[in-house]
Structure 1
Amino acid sequence: MHILFRTKKMARVFDSQTLLVQVYGLENARLIMRRMSVLNAVPSLAEVPATPPERRHQLKGDRAGKFAVDLKHPYRLVFAPVGDPVPLLADGGYDLARITAIEILAVEDYH
């Protein structure tokens, strides 16, 4: 899958194991690298497991339109589908099999 980043700073941090550890701590840095490996390896969002350990899930409420995968509880890697327009199903839901690009937005505890 094609992966973009919200900011250049975030792209720089995610490109460096040392910076990931400095910013997010050792355990979250390791999990971020694993999740990024999965996201890079799959052709579409549908291929990202919805079961643990990744647990891809769609967010609701004020985070509607975004997705997340689990890191060290309570943190999540939050991202949004990219496309013009974003592929949708007839019922208005996301067509995960046709979402082939995402933008990484944050690592956060939104609970």
Structure 2
Amino acid sequence: MITHTVIFRLNRPADTGRREQFIGLLQDFGKEPPHGLGPAKVHQDLQLRPEGRSVSEVLMEVRFADAEAFQRYLADPKHQELVSGVLAAECESWLSVQAETT
């Protein structure tokens, strides 16, 4: 199994309303991620670090049966729409890691 984990840093300033709206969009996308195994997990940063020191605001995890399913996900129009329509507009940056998990 492959777990795709992405952390998102929102455009600054990242106010509460904007963060909540972004999380809602990710949750909607994650209900049925294309080629994924079940719903995605979306988590909000707890903001435990001193003000202004947060690396990111949101984390999303999506699981896939194998690397081929992950590649299909990357090419899927629904994922491409998320990247170009939401992430590009709302995020200063995002980082992902793909790991083999059980």
- Asked if Structure 1 and Structure 2 have the same fold, meaning a TM-score greater than 0.5 normalized by the shorter chain, the answer is no
* TM-score w.r.t. length of structure 1: 0.31
* TM-score w.r.t. length of structure 2: 0.33
Greater relative CO, 1 or 2 (CA 8 Å, sep 6+): 2
**Structure number with higher strand proportion:** 2
